[in-house]
Amino acid sequence: MDCIFCKIANKEIPSQIVYEDEKVIAFKDLEPQAPVHFLVIPKEHIKSADEVTLENCDIIGHIFSVIPKIAKELGVTNGYRIVNNCGEDGGQTVSHIHFHVLGGRSFAWPAG
Ligand code: AMP
Ligand code: ZN
């Protein structure tokens, strides 16, 4: 499958990995929007948040359980923002579900 994040998960293309276990991998975003900006993805290809079902949703809890550990390891101590862009109007550019974790600065709300 021609999916850049599957290729990162399979180590077919390099990335700056910050966390990995048997189910998920986290790596630094190529175009960081904050002092700390990493992406957490399931190794399994799920296209977007719109394709999460009761059958495959355990991985989402798993992802949220590793985010606090990674954030702490990367020195984020004052909160962070978790972002999921879903589909075209949501601004998703890579069709493999991923959660952005941004920290090291404060963020405005609501997002534009
Ligand atoms: P989204 O717009 O939510 O789909 O986010 C895709 C993100 O993936 C963007 O922030 C890109 O900078 C990032 N990205 C794309 N290719 C790579 C890559 N090879 N390694 C790390 N981050 C990437
Ligand atoms: Zn994929």
The active-site residue out of 37, 62, 96, 98 is 98
Report the separation in Å between the CA atom of 94 and the middle of ligand 2, taken as the mean of its atom positions. 8
3-state SS of the chain is CCCHHHHHHCCCCCCCEEEECCCEEEEECCCCCCCEEEEEEECCCCCCHHHCCCCCCHHHHHHHHHHHHHHHHCCCCCCEEEECCCCCCCCCCCCCCCEEEEECCCCCCCCC
Query: What pLDDT sits at residue 49?
Result: 98
100 labelled catalytic: no
**What is the model's pTM?**
0.97
pLDDT in tens, the chain (112 residues): 799 999 999 999 999 999 999 999 999 999 999 999 999 999 999 999 999 999 999 999 999 999 999 999 999 999 999 999 999 999 999 999 999 999 999 999 998 6
7, 16, 19, 31: which to mutate for ligand 1, most atoms within 8 A of CB?
31
Report the separation in Å between the CA atom of 29 and the middle of ligand 1, taken as the mean of its atom positions. 6
